Amino acid sequence: MNRWQDKAIKTILVGSASTSILIVFLIFVFLGKEAFPFIRDPGFDALWHTRWIPVSFKEEIFGLIPLISGSLLVTSLATLLMIPFGVFGAIYIAEIGSEVERSILKPFIEVLAGIPSVVIGFFGLVVLSPIIKNLFGLNTGLTALTGAILLALMAVPTVITVSEDAIQSVPRAYREASLALGANRLQTIFRVIVPAALPGIIAAIMLGMGRVIGETMAVLMVTGNAAKMTLNPFDSVRTMTATIAAEMGEVAFGSHHYQALFWVGIFLLLMTFGLNLIAQKVLRKYQMR
Amino acid sequence: MIRKVLLTGLSLIVASLMIVGCSDKAKDASKPAAKYITIKGSDTMVHLASAWAEAYMKAHPDADISVTGGGSGTGIAALLNGTTDICIASRKIKAKEETLAAEKGLHPNEIVTSRDGIAVVVNPGNPVTELTIEQIGKIYTGVYTNWNQLGGQDHEIVILSRESSSGTFVFFQEHVMKKKDYSPEAMLMPSTSAIIQSVTQDVWAIGYVGLGYGVQAGDKVKMLHVKNDENAPAVVPSVATVQDASYGIARPLHFYTDGVPSGMTKDFVDFVLSDAGQQIVLESGYVPIN
């Protein structure tokens, strides 16, 4: 009886633990199945066009390049913004701030992490975009930069939490040795602790980037969604996620447009998958030390 | 212990069966015949169709009408699959869809229920007040990029459009842009309210919205007076000018049914076309047919 129960419970636990593996696998299969016919008919090369014109009376064009470049521009800008806030914030909370400050700061960071992205997007549309427009004297505030600021805002809690863990797990002995050798507090932090925690901090940034590249609602609302290739932060861009969200709703099933949207999904999945993989690798390396 | 659980479970099942039985009986009493129709399609028309359905159900307590959106294309697909009684569409059925219907032995029947004007809006701070349809089209295709090419000041034009999934996007492309592609600079906004919001904030922006939304926005935006061609008079978009067809950017809003409607569908269509139904059109910000 007991052995039978043990077995049953074990099976249930293994089953629920491996569900996520199964789901990831099924998602890949599903995306591939829906996207695959595109390779045969318009051909894989059709995806490397520099224009994305899904609705046209003349010729529909499904070039992924403007969408990928839009996502990369927004993601890299957001990363540049979130590194100082995330990393310095983590250093302050882990090393400098008092117990009282920590107990105030941490809950607020957690609240920030929990704000729905639609709410952040609405804030961006109504508050941030006019500020950006006036600050830089632009024609419109719906730019890649506006999106990047919102995304940085959403990713900073992740970066802070993970980097803080990394900084905290630097052995006490490092700190004491450095101070004993006559280094002051700032020198200890920036020459000893941060380098020791660097792999963890890098992993934190990677995880933050993963969040940024996959975020949809906020960028859909504030980046203007013009599908053009640009490296100018003050230009409007169309990200991969926004494209899927905006167009999947009314696309005819099985059409080239539908298949092209699945290709966008596949590339997006590969990008986040790659980022997560690198982050995991770096984190594991750092845990071994 | 186990017996107790079993007993509780059993009594719950019995109780729920009884409740279901009762409500079924109640339903049977109040609804002798199946008076149920479904309406599906255009997002532009969902509010209007719901308003019609509500008024109709108020007058006919035994009737039941369900209204869902999803877009004109979705609605026509549903009609072809036989999953809706009435399809609402803000565009005409395409030749391709008509062939598909014929293959399935269906006969899509078009009924014009009302009209919708599309207002071209700019910021009140923009001195430009009138443009021809051709000029508007050339702004959206990217030929004109600066307001000084259109008699305005030397400022770049910020082009705002709806998303490509919108029926309005396609209508505008077909009738204003003469089937040319949108400029890559055109910003695709997720909703009509986002267009209004941007035009309110950005002095050099131009956008298009349904007439009802444009009127509702009041002083926050300026609706351009539109000339059908160079020599035509500039026409203010309004219910009256859409109705007498002097305003050039307007479209009919359709019902599609399979064959000539009969039974409750016919009754509902008659209601929509009646004075009471057309009054609802006016109240919802659209334009009655006559």
Q: Do B188 and A252 touch (CB under 8 A)?
A: no
- Asked if residue B244 has pLDDT above 60, the reply is yes
A97 and A8, same structural domain?
no
One domain, residues A89 and A12: no
Residue A53 with chain B: CB contacts under 8 Å = 181-182
Going by pLDDT thresholds of 50, 70 and 90, the confidence category of residue A1 is: low
C-alpha angle with apex A264: A260 to A265, nearest 5 degrees?
115
Residues of chain B positioned with their CB less than 8 A from the CB of A227: 184, 188
pTM of the model: 0.79
What pLDDT, on the 0 to 100 scale, is given for residue A286?
65
∠ Cα A252 A216 A120 (to 5°)? 140
Contact assignment for A226 to B188 by CB distance below 8 Å: yes
Which of B135 and A3 is assigned the larger pLDDT?
B135
Same domain, A18 and A72: no
pLDDT higher than threshold 90 for residue B285: no
Q: Pull the structure tokens for residue B224.
A: 């351009």
Give residue B1's pLDDT. 47
Q: Report whether pLDDT(B10) > 60.
A: no
What's the per-residue H, E or C state across chain A? Answer: CHHHHHHHHHHHHHHHHHHHHHHHHHHHHHHHHHHCHHHHHHHHHHHHCCCEECCCCCCCEECCHHHHHHHHHHHHHHHHHHHHHHHHHHHHHHHHCCHHHHHHHHHHHHHHHHCCHHHHHHHHHHHHHHHHHHHHCCCCCCCHHHHHHHHHHHHHHHHHHHHHHHHHCCCHHHHHHHHHCCCCHHHHHHHHHHHHHHHHHHHHHHHHHHHHHHCCHHHHHHCECCCCCCCCCCCCECCHHHHHHHHHHHCCCCCHHHHHHHHHHHHHHHHHHHHHHHHHHHHHHHHHC
- Residue A205 scores a pLDDT above 80: yes
Pairing of strands B250-258, B86-89: antiparallel
Residue B68 with chain A: CB contacts under 8 Å: none
Residue A45 lies in a domain: no
Tell me how close the Cα of B113 comes to any Cα of chain A, in angstroms.
23
- Most confident listed range (A7-11, A247-251, B71-75, B281-285): A7-11
Query: Does residue A55 lie in a domain region?
Result: no
Both A219 and A280 in one domain: the answer is: yes
Count of domains for chain A: 2
- Which pLDDT score is estimated for B11? 53
Cα(B207)–Cα(A105) distance, integer angstroms = 43
Which one of A140, A220, A229 makes the best mutation probe of the B interface by having the most chain B beta carbons within 10 Å? A140
Could you tell me if A10 and A74 lie in one domain? Answer: no
% of chain A surpassing 90 pLDDT:
55
Phi, psi of B286 (to 5 degrees): -105, -175
Task: Report yes or no: B75 at the A interface, CB cutoff 8 Å.
Answer: no
Q: Between A2-35 and A256-288, two packed helices, what is the crossing angle to 10 degrees?
A: 130
Q: What is the pLDDT of residue A40?
A: 87
What Å distances lie between residue B53 and A65, B84, B234, B272, CA to CA?
A: 46, 15, 37, 9
Write out pLDDT tens, residues A44-97: 888 898 899 988 888 889 999 999 999 999 999 999 999 999 999 999 999 888
Find out whether A223 and A239 touch, Cβ atoms under 8 Å: yes
Find where tokens 């109040």 sit. B30
Does A53 contact B181 at a Cβ distance shorter than 8 Å?
Answer: yes
pLDDT at position A252 over 80: no
pLDDT of residue B204: 93
Nearest chain B Cα distance for residue A245, angstroms: 10
Shortest alpha-carbon distance between residue B33 and chain A (Å): 35
Residues of chain B positioned with their CB less than 8 A from the CB of A123: none
DSSP bridge pairs for B46 = none
pLDDT of A242 > 90? The answer is yes
CATH number at residue A90: 1.10.3720.10
Distance CA A49, CA A69 (A): 12
pLDDT at A132: 93
Of B66, B45, B39, B49, residue with least CA distance to B212 = B45
The length of chain A is 289
pLDDT band, very low/low/confident/very high, at B164 (cuts 50, 70, 90): confident
Identify the pLDDT of residue B180.
93
Q: Chain A: nearest CA to B262, how far in angstroms?
A: 30
The shortest C-alpha distance from A66 to chain B (Å) reads 10
Biggest CA–CA distance in chain B, Å, is 90
Question: What range does the domain containing A195 cover?
Answer: 64-285
Regarding an ipTM greater than 0.85, the answer is no
Is pLDDT above 50 for B28? Answer: no
Token pair belonging to B71: 């877009």
* Predicted confidence band of residue A278 (pLDDT cuts 50, 70, 90): confident
Residue B269 has pLDDT above 90, yes or no: yes
- In this structure, is residue A41 part of a structural domain? no
Mean pLDDT of B204-230: 91
Q: Which chain A residues are within 8 Å of B190, Cβ to Cβ? A: 220-221, 225, 246
**pLDDT greater than 90 at residue B141:** yes
The pLDDT score that the predictor gives to residue B101 is 87
Give mean pLDDT, residues B8-18: 50
List for chain B the helix, strand, coil content (%; round to 5). Answer: 45, 20, 30
In this structure, the answer to whether residues A69 and A26 fall within a common structural domain is: no
Cβ–Cβ contact B158 with A under 8 A: yes
Instruction: Say what the pLDDT of residue B31 is.
Output: 40
Task: Give the pLDDT of residue B77.
Answer: 84
Verify that A137 and A262 share a domain, yes or no: yes
Per-residue pLDDT at A243: 93
Q: What is the spatial distance between Cα A41 and Cα A220, in angstroms, rounded to a whole number?
A: 30
Look at residue B29 in the predicted model and tell me its pLDDT: 40
pLDDT of residue A253 exceeding 80, the answer is no
- Is the confidence at residue B9, as pLDDT, over 60? no
Dig out the tokens for B268 from the structure.
């509902």
Answer yes or no: do A236 and B70 touch at CB < 8 A. no
Contact between A217 and A198 under an 8 Å Cβ cutoff? The reply is no
User: Cβ separation of A141 and B201 shorter than 8 Å?
Assistant: yes
Q: Which of B100, B187, B189, B193 to mutate to test the interface with A (most CBs of A within 10 A)?
A: B187
Contacts of A217 (CB under 8 A, 6+ apart): A117, A118, A121, A245
Res. B133: pLDDT tops 90: yes
Element containing residue B122 per DSSP (H, E): strand B108-122
Same domain, A16 and A130: no
Which of A273, A263, A213, A268 lies closest to A25, judged by CA?
A273
In chain B, residues 189-228 whose CB comes closer than 8 Å to chain A: 189-190, 194, 197-198, 201-205
How high is the pLDDT of residue B25? 40
What is the model's pLDDT at position A287?
Answer: 63
**Of A154, A157, A159, the residue nearest A214 (C-alpha):** A154
Asked whether the beta carbons of residue B182 and residue A53 sit closer than 8 angstroms, the reply is yes
Model confidence at B39: pLDDT above 60:
yes
Residues in a beta bridge with B115: B252, B287
Examine the domain organization and report whether A183 and A116 are in the same domain.
yes
pLDDT the model gives residue A250:
67
Do A106 and A15 lie in a common domain?
no
pLDDT at residue B76 in the model: 86
Is A205 domain-assigned? Answer: yes
**Are the beta carbons of B202 and A125 separated by less than 8 Å?**
no
Lowest-confidence range among A51-60, A157-166, B23-32, B200-209? B23-32
Instruction: Please report whether residue A16 resides in a domain.
Output: yes
Q: Is there a contact between A133 and B189 if contact means CB atoms under 8 Å apart?
A: no
- B197/A126 Cβ within 8 A: yes
| B chain contacts of residue A57, beta-carbon cutoff 8 Å | 173-174, 179-180
Contact residues on chain B for A256, CB-CB shorter than 8 A: none
- Nearest CA to A184 out of A96, A248, A97 is that of A96
Nearest by CB to residue A225, choosing from B187, B204, B205, is B187
Q: Which chain B residue has its CA at the smallest distance from A236's CA?
A: B187
Query: Tell me, what's the pLDDT at B17?
Result: 47
A268 found inside a domain: yes
* pLDDT at B3 (0 to 100): 52
Asked if A137 is an interface residue toward chain B (Cβ–Cβ < 8 A), one would say: no
Across B104-120, average pLDDT: 92
Angle value at C-alpha A245, between A240 and A250, nearest 5 degrees:
125
How close, in Å, is residue A51 to chain B by CA atoms? 8
Give the model confidence (pLDDT) of A189-203 as tens digits. 999 999 999 988 998
CA-to-CA distance for B281 and B115, rounded, in angstroms? 9
Question: Does some domain include residue A212?
Answer: yes
Same domain assignment for residues A198 and A240 = yes
Around Cβ B236, how many Cβ atoms within 10 Å?
15
Measure the N-to-C terminal CA separation of chain B; round to a whole number of Å. Answer: 73
- Residue bearing the bigger pLDDT, B96 or B33: B96
Percent of chain B having pLDDT more than 90?
A: 52
Q: Are residues A8 and A136 in the same domain?
A: no
Burial of A22 (0-12, 13-18, 19+ CB in 10 A): exposed
Chain A, 62 to 81: residues with Cβ < 8 Å from chain B are 66
In a domain, residue A177? The reply is: yes
